[in-house]
Structure 1
Amino acid sequence: MKVLNLQCRHGHAFEGWFGSDEDFRLQQERGLLECPLCADTEIQKMPSAPRLNLSGAKEEAPAAPAETRALSPEAQTLQAMWLRAVRHVMEHTEDVGERFAEEARRIHYGEAEARNIRGQASREDTEALLEEGIEVLPLPVPAALKGPVQ
């Protein structure tokens, strides 16, 4: 099993587990890899060579270029918090799918039971809901979280 450090074009870093480098390459070519945070499919493998210091020398490694550095601990914490927030929303809302705008209006105008919902809405529908005073929050959900919540 190979554990690879991966990164999307937006700088989100994550791990991928593959049977081999060839498995990674094939999945990448077929567009099967995506960022768990933003669902971007433009994924690159980041350098990750273990450094063994067998001589006991205390030589510092040169800094990696900015585009290959791992995320700072603060950025990793923010990513983890964002994923927890998305999971919380997924666990505590009802998925009404493409009927989101219609159902949000029904709830707002008292025609349906008040409850927390989520779903898909076009930009135009979202803007119209906001103009009507209906509070909505666009939240991109990574494809990996769109299935059953575990």
Structure 2
Amino acid sequence: MVSAGSTPTVEFSTSSVITEIRPGEYVFGDLNNSRLGACTDDQIALFVAATVVSDWIPGQVILDAGTKALGREGSLELGYGAVAGTKAVLAKLNEYHGFLALPAGAARPSVGTVVPVVPNHVCPVVINFEELIVTDSAGTSPRRWRRRSRIPQLTGPPA
């Protein structure tokens, strides 16, 4: 058995060498995988709904999603997440807030606007929430998916 365990490896999984694939991020995608070419931006299927809570600094707005929601992965060069469908990148995070740098000429979302933030790495996002809200591609027909456990069920089938 030859096992591979990363989303970028999926494209090689049809070879006769790899007999098992465990691509943890594949179902959702994220900015890291998009940068690696493992998915396209329009294939990313997980976003954090973040609300604009301040717009008083020129060239930026502050969101209510920080490291507690998005994880700590990122850098000054790449940012710490981005708003889907825009060039706006989170330039900085603290625990509860994200500082969204707005590109020149970009529309400035007002306080109360909810924006879809694409995380750099989806794993810490999924593990930090008890429930995901799932919609169709148009954003309608919402359903709630509750996570059963943070650790695998070792004593029997899931409840």
Q: TM-score range by the shorter chain?
A: under 0.3
Greater share of residues in strand: 2
- Rg larger for: 1
Greater share of residues in helix: 1
